């Protein structure tokens, strides 16, 4: 089912991310990326001064500063107005466009790289890959990056169980369904790198606001959101590693993938 309000955008994203309040929660709740990702962007994707990169599904711009730091020209493409507005306000130097992965408002063979940070699972279709191929120069790279909580930690697994129960039909990275888009004619093989990062802050931000920032949680009815809040707060109170702490660290694994557009 696609949202009636945003053509080409999954209803969970269209409904869950549509408000300024949710965009603010997203900024507070989402983890940053490991410092090593800067070297990966330069060495694997070739980003540097004189190159152009599209931040596709850029959201509020959580990853965009990483792209800016490479010296590349950054173009942010995002369909949800509340999130794009947040990005524009925070990073006015970035060129922004309303658009989707199926309809990128850029010319053919015009960019050196496209990066999807925490977003490709929303549009992992052959139609999207064909459109990304269209805007990439020959030899250009598509980078895919996700942060995932480390569920080998028992309390994290308990948190995931609360969240996953209400995911419905929302696309998620952890299911691996996005991989079925590959291999894709015109792209080379998928290359993978793994990094570790911790998200440190107050339990309110790094646990509660992280859960609240999930599209399918934000799209729930108010009483259902309150039930999730109560369950997460109970988990925090019952876990010795979290209870009564002003600051906690949520362990994450960062997965980074890239494919190269083959020269014809």
Q: Each residue of 142-156: pLDDT tens digit?
A: 999 999 999 999 999
Question: Measured between alpha carbons, how far apart are the two ends of the chain, in Å?
Answer: 36
> pTM for this structure?
0.85
Q: Are 58 and 76 in contact (CB under 8 A)?
A: yes
- Give the residue-averaged pLDDT of 74-101: 95
- Give the residue-averaged pLDDT of 39-62: 97
Using DSSP's 3-state secondary structure scheme, residue 234 falls into helix
Residue 29 has pLDDT above 80, yes or no: no
Residue boundaries of the structural domains of the chain? 11-148+173-198+253-260
pLDDT score for 14: 45
| Burial grade of 93 (CB within 10 A; 0-12, 13-18, 19 or more) | exposed
Query: Predicted confidence band at 4 (pLDDT cuts at 50, 70, 90)?
Result: very low
For residue 37, give both structure tokens.
Answer: 């990702």
- Superfamily per CATH, domain 11-148+173-198+253-260: Vaccinia Virus protein VP39 (3.40.50.150)
Residue 158 has pLDDT above 70, yes or no: yes
Counting residues of the chain whose pLDDT is more than 70, the rounded percentage is: 89
pLDDT in tens, 180-207: 999 999 999 999 999 998 999 999 999 9
Distance between CA atoms of residues 103 and 240, nearest Å:
48
Q: Are 103 and 83 in contact (CB under 8 A)?
A: no
* CB atoms inside a 10 Å sphere around CB 5: 11
Query: Predicted confidence band at 169 (pLDDT cuts at 50, 70, 90)?
Result: confident
Distance between CA atoms of residues 208 and 152, nearest Å:
20
């Amino acid at each position: 089912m696609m949202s009636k309000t945003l053509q080409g955008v999954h209803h969970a994203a269209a409904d869950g991310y549509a408000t300024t309040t949710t965009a603010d929660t997203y900024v507070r709740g989402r983890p940053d990326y490991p410092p090593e990702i800067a070297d990966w962007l330069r060495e694997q994707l070739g980003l540097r001064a004189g190159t152009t990169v599209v931040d596709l599904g850029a959201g509020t711009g959580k990853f965009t500063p990483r792209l800016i730091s490479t010296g590349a020209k950054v173009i942010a493409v995002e369909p949800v107005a509340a999130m794009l507005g947040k990005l524009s306000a925070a990073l006015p130097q970035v060129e922004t466009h309303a658009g989707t992965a199926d309809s990128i408002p850029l010319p053919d063979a015009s960019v050196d790289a496209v990066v999807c940070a925490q977003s490709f699972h929303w549009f992992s279709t052959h139609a999207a890959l064909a459109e990304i191929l269209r805007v990439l120069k020959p030899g250009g790279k598509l980078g895919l990056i996700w942060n995932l909580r480390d569920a080998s930690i028992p309390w994290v697994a308990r948190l995931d169980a609360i969240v996953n129960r209400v995911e419905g039909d929302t696309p998620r990275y952890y299911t691996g369904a996005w991989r079925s888009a590959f291999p894709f004619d015109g792209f080379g093989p998928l290359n993978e790198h793994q990094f570790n990062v911790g998200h440190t802050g107050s339990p309110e931000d790094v646990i509660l606001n992280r859960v609240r920032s999930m599209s399918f949680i934000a799209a729930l009815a108010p009483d259902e959101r309150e039930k999730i809040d109560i369950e997460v707060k109970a988990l925090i109170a019952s876990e010795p590693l979290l209870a009564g702490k002003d600051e906690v660290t949520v362990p994450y694994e960062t997965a980074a993938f890239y494919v190269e557009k083959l020269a014809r």
